[in-house]
Amino acid sequence: MESLEANDQSWLEAQAQVWRFIFAFADSMAIKCAVELRIADIIHSHGVPITLSQIASCIDSPSPATPCLSRIMRLLVRRKIFTTDDPSDVGEALYGLTSASRWLLHDSEWSLAPMFLFQNHPWSTAPWHCLSKCVKEGGFAFNKAHDCDIWEFASKNPEFNRMLNNGMACTASIVTRGIITGYKDEFHSMGSLVDLGGGTGAMLAEIVKSYPHIKAINFDLPHVVATAPPYDAVEHVGGDMFECIPSADAIIMKWIMHDWRDEECVKILKNCKRAIPEKTGKIIIVDFVLKADGNDVFDDAGLAFDMTMIAHSSGGKERTEPEWKKILEESGFPRFRVIKIPALPSIIEAFPL
């Protein structure tokens, strides 16, 4: 190390890279600030790029600190969350939306703002500080940070539960549209479909809207389906997926397998196999297929999600294709294929024969 010249370009670039990692949290904190202040919504409501003064005048505060806001916007422009145009006639820069900031609109059908607020809240980030403890001691990061798992914490903390549910709901609608768009040809051949761990049934309701011929069963724990609203052509059924699953031509499960360890996934999948026709049945797993060296648009996000499973789950993980192959074969699904859809996860379609 001593032999390297102080002005060696590769050495300087490596130092700059580490500095970027040291302050990587600054990006997410600045974006969180913009989401909390509804800056994207303020610009969107005007329909055209606006000045910093106009943004400040719409913030819910009697005296917003515009110099602070200006510095935050400067970073977010560099990160391509917002744009700046040439100064207006009054000498102020005009700030506009980008494709990225449109995903941060609170009232948009396609908003990731609730998930951003949930993932970057101190309650959610605290377990990340326990990753090294997990390596040294084993156990689960969320429990180390909060003395209970994420579901118990949510049950005792209404505000956390609200943020968790809002975050899950916004991502569910986005992924559901990706499923319907990317898997549309396969739904035509199904007579019946069970959504395993389907929550209150929103995803299944959207699928049935597009494919009304499907007999749909939303299956989740009894206390979950008890709060589910009625949907046309969707039957809510309460039960335990580790015990018995309703029969259907196919079973879909979105972001269910990644919550569980391999041995628990095998138990669930074996119950799925009992619930579908041996010759014509199939399961539709909506989850990540990790590629450590992949360069697809969501590959980085997949690896980050896997870290999130360490931070927030009790033994869950995202899986590579060989890891999926292993648990599927152990469960009696020797044949499967991975289908890319226009959404964060992929579909792993598996067959018992």
Element (H, E) at 84: strand 82-85
The length of the chain is 353
Q: Catalytic residue numbers? A: 258
In a 13 Å sphere around the CA of 119, the CA atoms on its Cβ side amount to 21
Q: Are strands 192-196 and 250-254 parallel, antiparallel or unpaired?
A: parallel
Amino acid at position 115, single letter? M
C-alpha distances (whole Å) from 192 to each of 36, 177, 252, 280 are: 42, 20, 11, 12
Within the chain, residue ranges assigned H as helices are 9-22, 24-37, 39-46, 52-58, 66-78, 99-102, 113-119, 122-125, 131-137, 141-146, 150-156, 158-182, 184-187, 202-210, 222-225, 262-275, 299-312, 321-331
Q: How far apart are CA 54 and CA 265, in angstroms?
A: 53
